[in-house]
Every structure is written in structure tokens, then in C-alpha cells.
């Protein structure tokens, strides 16, 4: 029987560390860290995620501000808002919920957020730092994935890890983090030939293809660890909706451990956002924001990984 990796419990643990960091900053006379969340349009899933982010901020003492903009907001107006927030010293973290409406150039918007305030870790400066192992802000979902893996495999040295999915938000950054942890990483995607055979050799599979129930039981070797990043809403026969991951959960009981959907990677994404916000605030408050070691020794970063970025 595979162990279920409880993402909600691990996220709560991380939130406790984050709250302690917020308390320590405030006790030292600093203002509470401030996070600004921008939501453009009315995508129902994005509304859910933004609500959760705002509520989570309250729990750990982060001061959150929301900007809800209509779907027809112009790109220039959005860029002007971000420019104002970049200059506001009470704002330590800025995130723009994606997806954005089609008339807005997402890449341009994400790179307009100051790298120091980019708590999503999507800015090219942070992407470059991650891929060279030189600090920066790590994207929330990949950071959460690493913490979930480390909760069952503390040392990944030499482990064979297959990542399914090559997105900029999950697949590519998670591959970099796994390499930093000395794993042997194979990055694949839905067009990869022989995907079942490749997966069958893996000690760990990170499924992030956005393809519901792609990974079948016979793709998984006995004792593997499975991390399911996919979340697809499906309608059931009785007209209700259910969330489905990229792994066929019922067929993988021979794995050592598996993350559920919901309750696995999702809650970690939000907990890591809070941790990133505190790190950005701390860097702004103590200066030194361009140093390689800004985040490397932060408690929230080292809690499950043992260390920050490996420089080698
Ligand atoms: N600016 C960003 N936009 C998006 C990100 C991101 O990291 N930054 N990631 C995803 C959505 N996302 C965060 O924003 C996110 C997805 C899922 C969850 C979550 O808690 N999921 C729950 C289920 C929730 C449900 O009922 O739908 C779970 O898995 O248990 C949190 C955040 C895209 N956009």
C-alpha cells in the first residue's frame, strides 16, 4: 500500500516556520512583510487560488493587498500598476495570477515585476539564478515539489528522476532543482517516445504534463515515489466536478509513496509563496538583495532540503 504524502500537513509545518520568521521580523522592529496579488479577469480557478493566497497570508501575519482588475484591462494599465508597486517600499512581494487574458503579453508583464519582488520566481533574472545555482527566488510549485520529495527521500544523490512536462513554471525549474540535489534527471513530455518504459526505470516521477491520468500503474516500478502536479477539473456522471491528477491514483498502490490530488502539491504552492514573500521582505529589510546567499540559509528554504542552492 503506497504511503500518501500529506501535502496539507507539510504545508502547515512550513507555515509555522514562516510565521515564526514574520514574528521575528516584527519583533526586531520591522514592518510586517507585504504581498500584493493582481488578478485580471474572472477565471473561476484563479479566483479560488487568489482567495486561498489572501487567506493564507492572514494566518502567518503577512499583510496582503489585492488588485482585482476587469478582463478588458489594457496591458499599459497593468504595467503602470506594476510600476507603482515596484516603487512602493511597503510592498515586498508582487504576484500576477496567470493565466492572463489573451490580449496581454504574459512574458512582458512577468518581466516587468522587479526581480527582488518577484515572489513567483518567474522573472528571467530569477530563472537565470536558479539555472546557475546562484540563489534568487525559486518558483513556488517546484520548491513545494522538492519539499514533498525530501519528506520521503532526504538524499536524492544518484536517484533516477523522470520529470514529465517542460513548462517554464514547473518542468524546467523542478529539473534544475533536482540536478542541484545530485539526482539524475530525465525531462520528458507528452511527445516523448517510449514514455512508459522511461518512467518504469524511475525512482521518482514528477508528473506535470497537465494530462489527466496519463501515468498508468504499469509505468511505475515497485517502490517508486510519485509526485502529481496535475490538477484537472472533470465532470462526474452525477453532474458534479472532481479534481484529477496526471497519475492514475488507483493503479499505483505498488509505489512507495504518492501525492494525492487535491491535498498534495497544491497546498505546498501556497505555503511556498508565503515563504518566498518573507524571504523577499527580509532581503529588502536587511539590504543585500543581490547576494547569492539571500535565500540559501533561510529556515523555510532549508527545512526539508538540508541546504540552499548547490554552487557546483
Ligand atoms: N502567479 C501564479 N499563477 C499561477 C501559479 C503560480 O504559482 N503563480 N500556479 C497555478 C495555480 N496555483 C497558484 O496560483 C495554485 C494551484 C492549485 C492550488 C491548490 O491549493 N490546489 C488544491 C485544490 C484547489 C481546488 O479546489 O481547485 C489542491 O491541490 O489541494 C493552489 C495554487 C497557476 N497559476
Burial class of residue 91, CB neighbours in 10 A (0-12, 13-18, 19+): buried
Q: Does residue 40 lie within any of the structural domains? A: yes
The DSSP bridge pattern shows strands 241-244 and 232-235 to be antiparallel
66 CA distance to ligand 1 middle (Å): 17
Same domain, 168 and 209: yes
Q: Count Cα neighbours of 214 within 13 Å in the Cβ-side half-sphere.
A: 28
Q: Does residue 285 lie within any of the structural domains? A: no
| Residue 295 · residue 136 · CB < 8 Å | yes
CATH number at residue 104: 3.40.50.10860
Same domain, 182 and 75: no
Q: Does residue 9 lie within any of the structural domains? A: no
Pick the residue whose CA is nearest to atom 17 on ligand 1: 266
Out of 15, 117, 118, 120, the active site residue is 120
48 CA distance to ligand 1 middle (Å): 8
The DSSP bridge pattern shows strands 257-258 and 160-164 to be unpaired
Out of 97, 172, 279, 294, the active site residue is 97
Q: Does residue 293 lie within any of the structural domains? A: no
| Domain range for 157 | 140-265
Same domain, 97 and 172: no
| Predicted pLDDT of residue 303 | 52
149 labelled binding-site residue:
no
DSSP states along 207-274 = E-S--TT-B-GGGS-TT-EEEE---EEEE-TTS-EEEE-SB-GGG-TTSSEE--SSSSHHHHHHHHHH
Same domain, 95 and 172: no
Global pTM reads 0.94
CATH number at residue 170: 3.40.50.720
Same domain, 102 and 175: no
Same domain, 74 and 155: no
Element (H, E) at 146: helix 140-152
Same domain, 153 and 213: yes
| Predicted pLDDT of residue 286 | 83
Is 53 an annotated catalytic residue? yes
Which residue stretches of the chain have pLDDT < 70?
Answer: 287-312
Task: Summarize pLDDT for 78-94 with one digit per residue, the tens.
Answer: 999 999 999 999 999 99
Q: Does residue 22 lie within any of the structural domains? A: no
Sign of CA dihedral 14, 17, 23, 25: negative
CA distance 61 to 32: 7
Number of domains into which the chain is organized? 2
Is 97 an annotated catalytic residue? yes
Same domain, 165 and 245: yes
Same domain, 241 and 164: yes
Q: Does residue 154 lie within any of the structural domains? A: yes
Is 102 an annotated catalytic residue? no
| Predicted pLDDT of residue 278 | 97
The DSSP bridge pattern shows strands 160-164 and 3-4 to be unpaired
Q: Does residue 70 lie within any of the structural domains? A: yes
Domain boundary among 265, 282, 301: 265
167 labelled binding-site residue:
yes
Q: Does residue 208 lie within any of the structural domains? A: yes
61 labelled binding-site residue:
no
Same domain, 146 and 231: yes
Same domain, 158 and 225: yes
Same domain, 102 and 164: no
ipTM above 0.95, yes or no: yes
Is the CB of residue 138 below 6 angstroms from any atom belonging to ligand 1? no
Domain boundary among 245, 265, 285: 265
Amino acid at each position: 500500500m503506497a504511503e500518501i504524502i500529506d501535502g496539507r500537513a507539510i504545508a502547515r509545518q512550513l507555515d509555522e516556520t514562516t510565521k515564526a520568521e514574520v514574528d521575528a521580523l516584527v519583533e526586531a522592529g520591522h514592518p510586517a512583510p507585504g504581498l500584493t496579488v493582481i488578478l485580471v479577469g474572472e477565471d473561476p480557478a484563479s479566483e479560488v487560488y487568489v482567495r486561498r493566497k489572501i487567506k493564507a497570508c492572514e494566518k502567518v501575519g503577512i499583510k496582503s493587498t489585492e488588485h482585482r482588475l476587469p478582463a478588458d484591462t489594457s496591458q499599459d494599465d497593468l504595467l503602470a500598476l506594476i510600476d507603482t508597486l515596484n516603487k512602493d517600499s511597503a510592498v515586498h512581494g508582487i504576484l500576477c495570477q496567470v493565466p492572463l487574458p489573451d490580449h496581454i503579453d504574459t512574458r512582458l508583464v512577468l518581466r516587468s515585476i522587479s526581480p527582488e519582488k518577484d515572489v513567483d520566481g518567474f522573472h528571467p533574472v530569477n530563472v537565470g539564478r536558479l539555472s546557475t545555482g546562484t540563489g534568487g527566488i525559486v518558483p513556488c510549485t517546484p520548491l513545494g515539489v522538492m519539499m514533498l520529495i525530501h519528506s520521503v527521500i532526504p538524499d536524492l544523490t544518484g536517484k533516477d528522476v523522470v520529470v514529465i512536462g517542460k513548462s517554464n513554471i514547473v518542468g524546467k525549474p523542478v529539473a534544475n532543482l533536482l540536478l542541484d540535489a545530485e539526482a539524475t534527471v530525465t525531462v520528458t513530455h507528452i511527445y516523448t517516445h517510449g514514455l512508459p518504459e522511461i518512467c518504469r526505470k524511475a525512482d521518482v516521477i514528477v508528473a506535470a504534463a497537465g494530462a489527466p491520468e496519463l501515468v498508468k500503474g504499469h509505468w511505475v516500478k515497485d517502490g517508486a515515489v510519485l509526485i502529481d502536479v496535475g490538477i484537472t477539473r472533470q465532470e462526474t456522471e452525477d453532474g458534479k466536478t472532481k479534481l484529477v491528477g496526471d497519475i492514475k491514483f488507483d493503479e499505483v498502490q505498488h509505489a512507495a509513496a504518492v501525492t494525492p490530488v487535491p491535498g498534495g502539491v497544491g497546498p505546498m504552492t501556497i505555503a511556498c509563496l508565503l515563504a518566498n514573500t518573507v524571504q523577499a521582505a527580509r532581503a529588502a529589510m536587511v539590504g543585500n538583495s543581490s547576494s547569492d546567499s539571500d535565500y540559501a540559509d533561510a529556515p523555510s528554504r532549508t527545512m526539508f532540503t538540508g541546504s540552499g542552492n548547490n554552487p557546483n
